[in-house]
Amino acid sequence: MYVILVYDVHQKRVGRMLKLCRRYLNWIQNSVFEGAISELKLKELIFEARQIMDESYDSIIIFSSRNERWLDKQVIGLEKNEIDQFL
């Protein structure tokens, strides 16, 4: 499946969340990630994210699509992840 993940977590927890998400997905902007991921891996990511989050304060939204073809992506302005693709 193909997912877009956005998080909004307290600044204290941003570093750990960023590191976690980058292990599973591609960083594309600020607190936004995308990528192809299996259902199992996504469950793993959510499980690990829950260890980091304060669920009464932080929030993660995951949009998922069974097929990447169903989603178009358009970037206006600066494409921020150009370097990230090579890491």
73 binds its own copies (CB under 8 A): yes
d(CA 28, CA 47): 22
What mask, x for binding its own copies by CB under 8 A, covers residues 14 to 53?
--------------xxxxx-------------x--xx--x
d(CA 36, CA 78): 23
Size of the site for its own copies (CB under 8 A): 37
Q: What does the DSSP assignment read for 37-51?
A: --HHHHHHHHHHHHH
85 binds its own copies (CB under 8 A): no
Q: Which of 15, 38, 80, 84 binds its own copies (CB under 8 A)?
A: 80
